[in-house]
Structure 1
C-alpha cells in the first residue's frame, strides 16, 4: 500500500501561496484535511493568492480545507486557530512551520522593524505554533512537525551578506533540532526541510530579482514533504532534509518536471553547498518505492 495522508489533518502556516500551498495541495490529493493558516484574506496585486483561493484549490484537489486568518506573531490568534481546527477536523496530526519573512540586507540596511518582523514570524511563530499544537499532536497516531529551515551550518559566508535573516532561519533550525530531542518522548517527529535550488515563490520575486527563470516549482518541496510526513514519526526525526536528496533517496532520478523553465538548470539556494547531491540528513529512514508528483 502506498504511503498516504488520507484522513490526516495538517495545520500549515503561510499556506495561502507558494510552498505552503503546494504542500497543502499534495496532501489534499490523498484526501487530507488542511487548516490554511495565513494573514492574506484579501487579494494583493503584489502577492497573488488568499486563504480562500487556496482553500478552493485544496478542495478541488480532493481534500477538505479550513481557511483561517491568522498572524502567527499573535498568541491569541494562533490559539483560536488551533482550537477551531481541532473543533472542525477533530485533531491535528501534522504542523508545517512554513510562514517566514525575508530581507536579504546587510546590517546597516536592515531596519529594526524588518528585523523584528523576521524574528517574530520566523522564530517566535515557529515556537508558538509548535507549543500550541503540541497537546493535539501528542494524541495523534503519527504526529509530525516539519519546519522549513536550512541545515545548521555556521560558515561565515552564510551570515556575511544578511546576518539578521540568516540568524532567524538558523534559529528555526535550532528549534527543530531541540524539539526533535525534547518531543521524542511523545512520539512526535520534528524535522526540517530546505530546497537545494531556488524555488519559484512570491518571496523569490522580492528577494532575487531576475532569478525566477532559474528556479524549480514549489511541487518539489511538496513531494519531499509528503515523503517525510508519511514516515513513522518514531523512526524519522531530527533530520535536516534537502528536497532533492529526499527524492533521490525515494528513487526519483529525473527532476526535469520540476523546472520552472524547461531546459534551464536552477540556481543553488542559500545555505546549500553546490556539491550537495546525496542525502543530507543526520538520520534518514528507508525510502518508499516511489514518490507522487
Structure 2
C-alpha cells in the first residue's frame, strides 16, 4: 500500500498558507521524507508524521524551497536525542552544505548521518531493501536535479490451501518453497505446477516524484505505468514562455507526461504564487489526462 502525505506543495518563498515542497511517503511499510523545504518539521507535527519512523531523506535539488528545511530538521532530531543513523540522498554538495551549517550552529545532531551524493545524469538504483527499491529520475532544471521512483518489491505468492489439501503428500515443510514459486514433485514422480498450488500475490505498486523540471518526455520510459505520479506544474499554459525560461513545467505538460506514461493517477503541485486559484491547474490538466488531483497540504493520496 502507498500513502503519500503532502506537507508542502508551493514554489519559491513560504507564505502564510503556502509551504514549499515536502512529502512523506509510506510504501510497503517503509517511511521516506521527500524534499525538505522551510517549515517541513512544522508540517510534520501538524499532520502527525512520526519523526522516529524516518530513516531516509531524498532531496531532489539544492534550491531553497526544496532543501532549506533539512538543517533545521536534523538539528531537531539531535535535540530529540536521536541515535539511529539517517541516510540522506541528494546532489553532490549536500553533505558539505549540511554539515557546515550544523557545525557553525554547534548543533546537538550527534547521530550518524550517511550522505549518498548523486551526480549521474542517467537513471540509477540508489536504494534497495527487501521491500522497496528507489531509482533516480534525471530531470532538467537550472541546477542538477533528480526525481525519484519508489517501487515495491514483489511479494511472495500466496498458498492456495484448497488445492494443496488435495495432495496429502505435500508437507508443511514444503510451504516456503511453494511460496517462493517452486513446483512440487510428489513421491510418485508427478510434478505439481506451482500455479496450481498458489495464488498470484498483490500487484506491486509504485510512486514517481518528479520535482522541478522542464517538460522532459525522455523520462516516460522510467515512469511507465506507475500507479501514482507527482509532477510539478508551476505555471498554467498561458505562461509557457516563462516555464521554458525558468525550466519549469506547465499543467498541460505535466498531463502530457502522465498520458504518455499511462500512469494511474497524476498529482500536480509546485504552484507559482501568481495564481490565487489553483483549481485552474486541475482544469487545464484534465483536458489532456483524466485522473488529475491537486496537491494540497495535509492531503493523503492512497493507492492499494
* TM-score over 0.5 (shorter chain): no
TM-score by length of 1: 0.36
Question: Who wins on radius of gyration, i.e. which is larger?
Answer: 2
TM-score by length of 2: 0.35
Query: Which is richer in strand?
Result: 2
